[in-house]
């Protein structure tokens, strides 16, 4: 029997209204997340990739309930958010590490106080919270005697991000959402933080949602990958399936843009041209059809749902793979 997922998001929708019309009326809505569904198994890392504006960060904020969805449900450990589990309890079990390591920390708090703040607010004594902060600093590779009394401006970017990771672990969460958490670091420091994350996952049994624009890093860190385009899921599957046999033309274009040291694999032409359509007024049908070399009549008329492919949980939203779609390239690889 397949075990129940640790976390499940079903049909999540988040639209942001634009103000500025006559007498403060709305000028439309940005469809940041539009009917997104996925599951997380305990102990896995789900990578989320896509161009800027595809909805990755909005999805991350929905996962941790920093913003509320307009529609859809979130379930953690079989408990439905808002019915069987409160937002406060959800946030204790799902923590987030943001991209900007400096803006994430209060400049007036020492590193010890920054890590201890959350536990103290939730009832832990100051002495216990201070001990916990020192333990977590030690765990993320920062000597407490050197770093506990320092302020954010006294640390490097990599050190600050280690503190943010320690702060996220203060509640012993089940899931940690990492939103471009290493993208602002130079490569040597990035490698150290990635190794730290891998070690913490193994030691503590954590589950990660890893959001990044670096496809090589996502490949290294993830068990499964979810590809997003203009607020929707284009493809989801194991790392092996996505990177070796991408089924969606958008996924194939993203992967072909990855830099390679092999001179025989040089990119001679742009794999993808043009900007994504306006999320205020996305195209009908498949949202990628305006940039897709395989686009057919049905692509502009009918929105494809996620269709299961052979392989473990491999799904794609493309008419090429949907039986009975009558796409002219039906069955052709992306």
Q: Is 259 exposed, middle or buried (0-12, 13-18, 19+ CB in 10 A)?
A: exposed
Q: What sign does the dihedral 301-302-304-309 (CA atoms) show? A: negative
Check residue 268 and give its pLDDT. 60
Cα gap 193→199, rounded to integer Å: 10
pLDDT in tens, 158-177: 999 999 999 999 999 999 99
Burial 99-133 (b: 16+ CB within 10 A, else e): bbbeebbeeeebbbbbbbbbbbeeebeeeebbebb
Cα 91 off chain centre by: 16
Q: What is the pTM of this model?
A: 0.91
Check residue 333 and give its pLDDT. 61
Q: Using pLDDT thresholds of 50, 70 and 90, give the confidence band for residue 120.
A: very high
Check residue 265 and give its pLDDT. 67
Q: What is the mean pLDDT of residues 84-103?
A: 91
Q: What is the mean pLDDT of residues 103-114?
A: 95
Check residue 26 and give its pLDDT. 65
Neighbours of 76 (CB within 10 A): 23
Check residue 270 and give its pLDDT. 65
Return the residue matching tokens 């770093």.
147
Q: What sign does the dihedral 118-119-123-128 (CA atoms) show? A: negative
Look at residue 282 and give its three-state secondary structure.
Answer: coil
Nearest to 115 by CA among 70, 81, 56, 166: 166
Residues of the chain above pLDDT 90, percent = 71
Q: Across the chain, what does the average pLDDT equal?
A: 90
Check residue 276 and give its pLDDT. 81
Neighbours of 32 (CB within 10 A): 24
| Radius of gyration, CA atoms only, the chain | 21
In this predicted structure, the answer to whether residue 210 has a pLDDT above a threshold of 70 is yes
pLDDT in tens, 183-207: 878 888 899 999 999 999 999 999 9
Nearest to 165 by CA among 147, 141, 131: 141
CA angle, residues 178, 184, 189, in degrees to nearest 5: 90
Cα gap 18→15, rounded to integer Å: 10
Check residue 48 and give its pLDDT. 97
Nearest to 160 by CA among 94, 99, 95, 96: 99
Check residue 1 and give its pLDDT. 46
pLDDT in tens, 213-271: 999 999 999 999 999 999 999 999 999 999 999 999 999 999 987 776 677 766 666 66
Q: What is the mean pLDDT of residues 270-275?
A: 72
In this predicted structure, the answer to whether residue 114 has a pLDDT above a threshold of 70 is yes
Contacts of 212 (CB under 8 A, 6+ apart): 47, 49, 178, 180, 182, 183, 218, 221
Q: What is the mean pLDDT of residues 18-23?
A: 70
Q: What is the mean pLDDT of residues 289-303?
A: 91
CA angle, residues 6, 12, 17, in degrees to nearest 5: 145
Check residue 24 and give its pLDDT. 61
In this predicted structure, the answer to whether residue 40 has a pLDDT above a threshold of 70 is yes
CA angle, residues 80, 204, 57, in degrees to nearest 5: 55
């Amino acid at each position: 029997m397949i075990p129940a997922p640790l976390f499940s998001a079903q049909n999540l929708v988040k639209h942001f209204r634009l103000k500025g019309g006559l007498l403060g009326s709305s000028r439309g809505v940005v469809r940041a997340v539009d009917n997104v569904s996925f599951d997380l198994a305990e102990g896995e890392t789900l990578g989320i990739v896509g161009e800027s504006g595809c909805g990755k960060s909005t999805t991350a904020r929905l996962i941790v309930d920093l913003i509320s969805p307009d529609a859809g449900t979130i379930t953690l450990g079989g408990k439905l958010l808002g019915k069987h589990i409160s937002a406060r309890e959800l946030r204790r079990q799902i923590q987030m590490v943001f991209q900007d390591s400096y803006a994430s920390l209060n400049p007036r708090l020492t590193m010890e106080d920054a890590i201890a703040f959350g536990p103290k607010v939730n009832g832990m004594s100051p002495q216990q919270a201070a001990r916990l902060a020192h333990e977590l600093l030690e765990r993320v590779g920062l000597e407490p005697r050197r770093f506990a009394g320092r302020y954010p401006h006294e640390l490097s970017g990599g050190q600050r991000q280690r503190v943010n990771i320690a702060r996220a672990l203060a509640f012993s969460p089940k899931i940690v959402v990492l939103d471009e958490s290493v993208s602002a670091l130079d490569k040597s420091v990035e490698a150290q933080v990635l190794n730290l994350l891998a070690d913490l996952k193994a030691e503590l049994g954590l589950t990660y949602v890893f959001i990044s624009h670096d496809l090589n890093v996502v490949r290294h860190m993830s068990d499964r990958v979810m590809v997003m385009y203009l607020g929707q899921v284009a493809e989801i599957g194991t790392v092996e399936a996505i990177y070796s046999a991408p089924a969606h033309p958008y996924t194939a274009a993203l992967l072909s843009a990855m830099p390679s040291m092999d001179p025989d694999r040089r990119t001679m032409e742009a794999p993808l041209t043009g900007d994504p359509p306006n999320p205020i007024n996305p195209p009908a049908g498949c949202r990628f059809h305006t940039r897709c070399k395989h686009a057919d009549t049905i692509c502009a008329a009918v929105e494809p749902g996620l269709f299961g492919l052979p392989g473990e949980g491999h799904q794609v939203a493309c008419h090429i793979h949907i039986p009975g779609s009558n796409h002219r390239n039906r069955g052709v690889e992306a």
